[in-house]
């Protein structure tokens, strides 16, 4: 139990820390690398929740495919350090900051005031959910329909991408 807590807290601190570092870096490449670190920490957290499949997919898809694409685009565009256009504190920023703070406080208050009434799951259920077999079964029975709708969503996205990418001047 203690070991589990140690793993959880170290991963949690690392993930929040890397997320903070990501948004504060000026160089986009370094920011992207911190994001990858963040993905690995999250994958570790999924592992502690017995969700092996999600953890592996998370690394493969996000840290592997999507982030590589990100880095390629950043390097192709040859972005330099980000420069701020203005440092002035505008009323808009103050309002946005205030609202974000209010949201943070609300969310914190939820954690503090307790988690009564939350649905409970037993350990066996949790163990089952993480396996590829279980996810596959669910995907092709209960969630077959959303799975198929995703394919149409991707078809629309492909058509749109082609439409936007065709650069022929008319």
Partner 1 sequence: MVEQLLQSLSRFLPETTLTVALCSTVVVSLFLGRKSQATLFVALAGLVLATWFSFDQMGVSETIFSGMVAVDPFSVFFKLLVGLSAILILLFSLYSSEVQSTLHRAGEYSALILAMALGMFLMAGASNLLMMVLAIELTSLSSYILAGYTREASDSSEASLKYIIYGAVSTGVMLYGISILYGLTGATDFYGINRALTEESVNSVALLVSIIMILVGFGYKISAVPFHFWTPDVYEGAPITITAFLSVASKAAGFALMMRFFKVSFIDANAVGLPTGVWTSLQGFEWNKIVAILSVLTMTLGNLVAVWQNNLKRLLAYSSIAHAGYMLMGVVVLSDKGLAAVLIYFMVYLFMNLGAFYVVMLVANKTGSEDIDSYKGLGHRSPLVSVAMVIFFISLAGLPPTAGFIGKLFLFAALLDATWIWLAVVGALNSVVSLYYYVRVVRNMFLRDPEGNAEPILFSTPQLAIVMLLLLPTLFFGLFYSPMVELANASVMMFGIR
User: Could you tell me the smallest distance in angstroms from the CB atom of residue 164 to partner 1?
Assistant: 7
Q: Report the alpha-carbon distance of residue 61 to residue 79 in Å, rounded.
A: 24
Contact call for residues 7 and 48 (beta carbons, < 8 A) = yes
Contacts with partner 1 in 74-103 (CB under 8 A)? 103
User: Could you tell me the smallest distance in angstroms from the CB atom of residue 6 to partner 1?
Assistant: 25
Cβ atoms < 10 Å from Cβ of 130: 17
Read off φ and ψ for residue 15, nearest 5 degrees.
-70, -45
Q: Report the alpha-carbon distance of residue 133 to residue 130 in Å, rounded.
A: 9
x/- map, 98-127, partner 1, by CB under 8 A: -----x--xx-xx--xxxxxxx-x------
x/- map, 32-71, partner 1, by CB under 8 A: ----------------------------------------
Contact call for residues 67 and 60 (beta carbons, < 8 A) = no
Residues that bind partner 1 (CB under 8 A): 103, 106-107, 109-110, 113-119, 121, 141-146, 149-150, 152-153, 155-157, 159-160, 162-164, 166, 170
């Amino acid at each position: 139990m203690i070991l589990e807590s140690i793993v959880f807290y170290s991963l949690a601190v690392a993930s929040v820390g890397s997320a903070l570092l990501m948004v504060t870096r000026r160089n986009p490449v370094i920011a992207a690398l911190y994001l990858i670190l963040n993905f690995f920490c999250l994958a570790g957290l999924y592992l502690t929740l017995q969700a092996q499949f999600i953890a592996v997919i998370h690394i493969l898809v996000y840290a592997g495919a999507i982030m590589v694409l990100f880095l390629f685009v950043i390097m192709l565009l040859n972005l330099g350090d980000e420069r701020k256009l203005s440092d002035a504190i505008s009323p808009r920023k103050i309002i946005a900051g205030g609202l974000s703070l209010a949201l943070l406080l609300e969310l914190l208050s939820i954690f503090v005031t307790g988690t009564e009434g939350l649905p409970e799951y037993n350990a066996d259920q949790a163990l089952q959910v993480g396996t590829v077999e279980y996810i596959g079964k669910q995907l092709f029975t209960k969630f077959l329909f959303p799975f198929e709708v995703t394919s149409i969503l991707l078809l629309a996205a492909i058509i749109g991408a082609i439409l936007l990418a065709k650069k022929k001047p008319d």
